[in-house]
Structure formats: structure tokens, C-alpha cells
């Protein structure tokens, strides 16, 4: 029922969503913490830059990334001269593209969560002998866990449905850079509605299950007393 190529597309999709979300969470945590607490004036510029992928058409984003990461771009060109491959039409390129594409969806909840954590809690931790790094891991992160959960889910789900950036940057190489959303588009173009249905239904069910799991977790967190 599910062709090997479609299964491959699903696999690439999930791998891409998982990897880019994981890297984003690690990179965005310090950045969001800094944005939530800095009083630096240039902060506005960084905030705008972080939110830019939200308003840009994905094709514009994909286009610039293609140029940048391709063999003649700054990044791609440098990599080639160092003996590596350029990143256009590669899975690594897709990860970079997805990360930029989903950046606002991770930054926004994380920054909000860190801002909402009252400075008081960190002061309390300081009077209880916790060093700054200790305070971050033992108080700030646990208190922001709903923010982390929201960020992870939004980023994952957003990457699942990604289309524009990938079609510009990744080409459509089955098994390597072809993701589910593009495979569905291909099936529809080829009038193969049955295959499009199968793939779409799998995405709908999986996304729904994911959200149910998340809301379940969120409720569990609530009981523990976040926000009280």
C-alpha cells in the first residue's frame, strides 16, 4: 500500500524534523535566555531577525539558502574549497534550511517562557547557594519546561509540513531529500490520488497523535503546579 519511495519520504521527513528540532532547541536555549534578559538596545534587531522567517515566503528563504549553500555561495563555496561537498540538494542543507524556517517557532515560546519565569525564583535559588549556571539548570529550565515542550512540538510539526524551502533547496531526490509533503504534491500532479491519500492520512494521524500526547503531557505538568 505504501510504496518504498513514499516510506522513504516519510522517513526523511521525520528524520529531518527530529534532527532540526533537536539542534534548534540546543542552540536557541542560550539565545532565548539572553534575549529574555538583556537590556542591550540592539536586541530589537536580533528579535526582528529571528522572526523574519515567519513572514518571508518560504520560496524566498529557500532561494537565498540555495545561493548561499550552493557550490558558488559563501558557505557552499568555502566548504568546497576545504574539500567538503556544498550543501545544496543534500540532507544537511535541508536541516539548515528547516532550522532557519522553524527558528521563530522555537525562539518565541522559549523567550516567553524565560521572561515569564520571575527573577524572584532565581534570587531565591541564589540565596540557597546555587551558582548562576546551577540556577539556570535547576530552576530556570524546569520552570520553562512548558515553553520547551511548545517549542519542540511547533518546530517538529512545522518541519513536517515544510514545502517551499525544501523544494527550492533540496530538489526532490527520492530517499535523500524528498519529503512527504513534496511526495504528496508529486502524486497529485501525477493524478495518483490513492497514494496521495495514503501519505496524507498517515501525516494527519501522526500529527494528531503527537498533539494529543503533548496536551496530555501539558496537563500532567499543570498538576505539578506550573503557573500557580
Question: Taking CB under 8 A as the rule, does residue 82 contact another protein?
Answer: no
Cα distance between residue 21 and residue 32, in whole Å: 15
Q: Whole-number minimum distance, CB 35 to another protein, in Å?
A: 23
Region for residue 227 given its phi and psi (left: phi exceeds 0; alpha: psi -120 to 50; beta: otherwise): left
Q: Which stretch binds another protein (CB under 8 A): 102-110, 125-133, 154-162, 192-200?
A: 125-133
User: Cα 139 to chain center, whole Å?
Assistant: 24
Cα distance between residue 150 and residue 136, in whole Å: 19
What is the rounded radius of gyration, in angstroms, for the C-alpha atoms of the chain?
20
Residue from 139, 168, 184, 196 binding another protein (CB under 8 A): 139
Residue from 41, 55, 83, 120 binding another protein (CB under 8 A): 120
Distances (CA, A) of 124 to 120, 133, 138: 6, 14, 12
Of the CA atoms within 13 Å of residue 199, those in its CB half-sphere come to 27
Applying CB under 8 A, the site for another protein has a residue count of 23
Residues 20-59: x where in contact with another protein by CB under 8 A, - otherwise, as a string? ----------------------------------------
Cα distance between residue 77 and residue 66, in whole Å: 12
Residue from 1, 189, 220, 228 binding another protein (CB under 8 A): 228
Question: Taking CB under 8 A as the rule, does residue 121 contact another protein?
Answer: yes
The residue with cell 534570587 is: 123
Residue from 129, 189, 219, 220 binding another protein (CB under 8 A): 129
Question: Taking CB under 8 A as the rule, does residue 116 contact another protein?
Answer: no
Residues at the contact surface with another protein, assessed by CB under 8 A: 120-121, 123-132, 134, 138-139, 142-143, 145, 224-228
Amino acid at each position: 500500500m505504501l510504496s518504498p519511495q513514499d516510506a522513504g519520504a516519510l522517513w526523511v521527513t521525520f528524520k529531518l524534523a527530529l534532527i532540526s528540532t533537536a539542534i534548534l532547541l540546543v542552540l536557541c536555549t542560550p539565545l532565548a535566555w539572553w534575549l529574555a534578559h538583556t537590556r542591550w538596545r540592539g536586541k530589537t534587531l536580533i528579535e526582528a531577525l529571528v522572526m523574519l522567517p515567519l513572514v518571508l515566503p518560504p520560496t524566498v528563504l529557500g532561494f537565498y539558502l540555495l545561493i548561499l549553500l550552493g557550490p558558488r555561495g559563501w558557505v557552499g563555496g568555502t566548504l568546497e574549497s576545504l574539500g567538503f561537498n556544498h550543501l545544496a540538494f543534500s540532507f544537511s542543507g535541508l536541516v539548515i534550511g528547516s532550522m532557519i524556517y522553524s527558528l521563530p517557532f522555537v525562539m518565541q515560546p522559549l523567550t516567553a517562557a524565560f521572561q515569564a519565569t520571575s527573577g524572584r525564583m532565581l534570587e531565591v535559588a541564589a540565596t540557597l547557594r546555587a551558582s548562576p549556571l546551577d540556577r539556570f539548570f535547576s530552576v530556570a529550565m524546569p520552570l520553562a519546561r512548558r515553553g520547551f515542550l511548545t517549542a519542540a512540538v511547533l518546530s517538529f510539526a512545522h518541519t513536517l509540513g515544510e514545502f517551499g524551502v525544501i523544494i527550492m533547496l533540496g530538489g526532490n531526490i527520492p530517499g535523500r531529500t524528498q519529503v512527504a509533503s513534496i511526495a504528496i504534491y508529486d502524486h497529485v500532479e501525477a493524478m495518483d490520488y490513492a497514494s496521495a491519500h495514503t501519505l496524507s492520512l498517515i501525516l494527519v494521524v501522526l500529527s494528531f497523535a503527537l498533539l494529543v500526547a503533548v496536551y496530555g503531557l501539558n496537563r500532567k505538568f499543570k498538576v505539578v503546579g506550573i503557573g500557580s
